Structure 1
Amino acid sequence: MHRVYDGSATGSPRGDLPRAALTAFAPFVWGTTYIVTTELLPAGHPLFAGLLRALPAGLIALAITRTLPRGAWWGKSAVLGVLNIGLLFPLLFLAAERLPGGVAATLAAAQPLVVAVLAVAVLRERPSTWRIGWGAMGLAGVALVVLGPAAAFDGVGVAAGLGGAVSMALGLTLTKHWGRPAGVGPTAFAGWQLTAGGVLLLPLTAFVEGPPPAIGPAAAIGYLWLGLCGGLIAYAVWFRGVTTLPVNSVAILTLLSPLVAAVLGAALLGQTLGAIQLAGFALGLAAIVAGQLPAPGRFSVSTATPAPKGISR
């Protein structure tokens, strides 16, 4: 018996929701990046922070699993590592430097909408008003939470923010399209991409930022958190979810990051969440939850031949 979905279904709620909850750990942890960076790390070295988040985690994963890519997966891993790590980090950091944090977070929150389009083009899924609608709702919710009167738009910053959203969306979609090689676990799979992305960031960091900063106790804790939890563990969990869950369901989970960052800002930095922000927060959470459910009337169980790769699980 096979579960059969069209492009707008996310699958069986009973089967997918526990995996979605586990996968949500990754964007939840990534939501701590802003406060860790601003409160613990030395200023002016965002690429170095990205490098330490990626390369050590990737090398540790390779050492633990002792599994290297084979054949075409050398090239695929390099492409995915660039899109998901090596290109994404510089674009996000550039957007953060050129734009107020709320604007950068809102641009990044456009990623589920980009994935909804790419799922049609790359995965041959049917267009889904359910996915697009909730993606737009989630984007609106994040905007209500993080945008303020100081919001300003810089052309380069906006291009970087949108480029980061597209890079992550394309990496996510290609990860789903190519799947994971048989016999390769999520830790090894994450290790390939983290290493590839870290290798790209290494010369870029040296060229842009020069020598690494002095690392005190607080910074050491921050880098350890970013590398161990935000890198090794989070990406292993993330790529497991990407390869086992519907791509649109995973994409909308990324909205957790700006929401977590806003909550931490209110709890630890004294930032205020007014009625509009709370309404946006509720809207964002509703979009995340709805994104894990099948569109009404779109899920069925059948004994027919499985649907094409990327649609049937």
Structure 2
Amino acid sequence: MLLTAVAPAVWGTTYYVTTEYLPPDRPLLAGVLRALPAGLLLVALTRRRPHGVWWWRSLLLGTLNIGAFFALLFIAAYRLPGGVAATVGAVQPLLVAGLSAGLLGDRLTARTVLTGLTGVLGVGLLVVQPGARLDGLGIAAAAGSAVVMATGVVLSKRWPAPAPLLAVTGWQLVAGGTVLLPVALLVEGPPPSSLSAGNVLGYAYLTLIGAAVAYTLWFRGIRELPPTNVTFLTLLSPTVATIVGWLALGQDLGPLQVVGGVLILGSLVFAQLRRRPSPAPVRAAGGPAAVQDLNA
């Protein structure tokens, strides 16, 4: 669980790296350069290609987890304040819990729902600023990004891949980056003709750490843990983003944000705790005498 938590924590640094090191107004290009080179690197290292149904499964999962997710997140980020987009995206654990009930046969409990709502409230207090404007298309895009990634998480659990983890991660990164590439060219145009050393450093961080390492840990967590437990860890992203903004950019951190952070951490911890099943009553043969022997 702790290793899986590294992934959304790393993703929480993306906003800082993008604003401080990358060319302005190129988030889709950042998504392509984050996913495609990392995927090609992992495929080259593992020397494994998809076989059979895993061609279309890799394409679908890569589109959901990376390609469509990045594109919708881009629309939401441009049409909404970051806090509103993050709050809408925080419904993802609830979506995963509902999809897991339908596709995996997991039980949807009131405990999970209440924990998920607490997480949404915590993110809202942490990142939403007073007077934040709302935009219908932006809200729809933010909700869509949560839906596609939640679907990708559940389907990744439903379809356990027979190949090594690094290979499966590489397939999805290549698929997601390939799907996102024409969208980036259409919306943002060709890449910049020149890049500074800071730009190269920023892209290298997103490729190696933000994609190759983070997504490998993320997909490993999906393999090893219940999907609802995994997706609650995504609440770490806005938390880390807020802490980095406070430490590195001098952004204000007020009492309500502190309360929001406490609610987020509480929901994260509570979501990972499992109720132990009640022990079955011991039935002894031989009537009351046998019961007395057991009690002795």
TM-score, normalisation: structure 1: 0.87
Query: Given the alignment of the two structures, is residue 186 of structure 1 paired with residue 196 of structure 2, yes or no?
Result: no
Aligned twin of 1:125: 106
Aligned twin of 1:307: none
Which consecutive unaligned segments of at least 5 residues does structure 1 have?
1-19, 302-313
| Equivalent pair of 1:186/1:237 in contact (CA under 8 Å) | no
Amino acid at match of 1:223: Y
Give the match's secondary structure for 1:87.
helix
| Equivalent pair of 1:25/1:237 in contact (CA under 8 Å) | yes
Aligned twin of 1:308: none
Give the match's secondary structure for 2:37.
helix
Q: How far apart, in 1, do the equivalents of 2:25 and 2:279 lie?
A: 52
Number of paired residues? 279
Query: Given the alignment of the two structures, is residue 177 of structure 1 paired with residue 162 of structure 2, yes or no?
Result: no
Query: Given the alignment of the two structures, is residue 66 of structure 1 paired with residue 47 of structure 2, yes or no?
Result: yes
Question: Residue deviations 1:65-124, cap 9 Å, x none?
Answer: 001111111111111000001100010011000000100111111110111110111111
| Equivalent pair of 1:92/1:164 in contact (CA under 8 Å) | yes
Aligned twin of 2:56: 75
Aligned twin of 1:266: 246
Which consecutive unaligned segments of at least 5 residues does structure 2 have?
281-296
Amino acid at match of 2:151: L
Amino acid at match of 1:271: Q
Aligned twin of 2:25: 44
Question: Residue deviations 1:273-313, cap 9 Å, x none?
Answer: 1111101101101111111111x344879xxxxxxxxxxxx
Aligned twin of 1:287: 267
Amino acid at match of 1:229: I
Tell me which of the two structures has the higher relative contact order, counting C-alpha pairs closer than 8 angstroms and 6 or more residues apart: 1
| Equivalent pair of 1:141/1:279 in contact (CA under 8 Å) | yes
Q: How far apart, in 2, do the equivalents of 1:171 and 1:299 lie?
A: 33
Aligned twin of 2:140: 159
Aligned twin of 1:276: 256
**Partner residue of 2:68 out of 52, 73, 87:** 87
**% identical equivalent positions:** 51
**Partner residue of 1:229 out of 209, 215, 221:** 209
Aligned twin of 1:196: 175
Give the match's secondary structure for 2:10.
helix
Query: Given the alignment of the two structures, is residue 215 of structure 1 paired with residue 183 of structure 2, yes or no?
Result: no
Give the match's secondary structure for 2:272.
coil
Q: Which moved more, 1:98-107 or 1:211-220?
A: 211-220
| Equivalent pair of 1:180/1:243 in contact (CA under 8 Å) | no
Q: How far apart, in 2, do the equivalents of 1:185 and 1:237 lie?
A: 13
CA pair 43-246 structure 1, distance change in 2 beyond 3 A? same
Question: Residue deviations 1:118-142, cap 9 Å, x none?
Answer: 0111111111112111111111111
Q: How far apart, in 2, do the equivalents of 1:298 and 1:157 lie?
A: 43
Q: How far apart, in 2, do the equivalents of 1:189 and 1:293 lie?
A: 29
CA pair 57-300 structure 1, distance change in 2 beyond 3 A? farther
Q: How far apart, in 1, do the equivalents of 2:157 and 2:56 lie?
A: 16
Question: Residue deviations 1:21-80, cap 9 Å, x none?
Answer: 000010000000111111111111110000001000000000000011111111111110
Q: How far apart, in 2, do the equivalents of 1:297 and 1:60 lie?
A: 42
CA pair 177-219 structure 1, distance change in 2 beyond 3 A? same
Amino acid at match of 1:282: V
Q: How far apart, in 1, do the equivalents of 2:3 and 2:279 lie?
A: 24
**Partner residue of 2:225 out of 228, 240, 245:** 245
Amino acid at match of 2:150: A
Amino acid at match of 1:195: V
**Partner residue of 2:11 out of 24, 30, 37:** 30
Aligned twin of 2:34: 53
Give RMSD over aligned pairs: 1.3
Amino acid at match of 1:81: G
TM-score, normalisation: structure 2: 0.92
Q: How far apart, in 2, do the equivalents of 1:188 and 1:242 lie?
A: 15
- Larger gyration radius, structure 1 or structure 2: 2
Question: Residue deviations 1:230-287, cap 9 Å, x none?
Answer: 0101001110110110010001000000000000011111111111110110110111
Q: How far apart, in 2, do the equivalents of 1:175 and 1:71 lie?
A: 16
Q: How far apart, in 2, do the equivalents of 1:246 and 1:125 lie?
A: 9
Give the match's secondary structure for 1:270.
coil
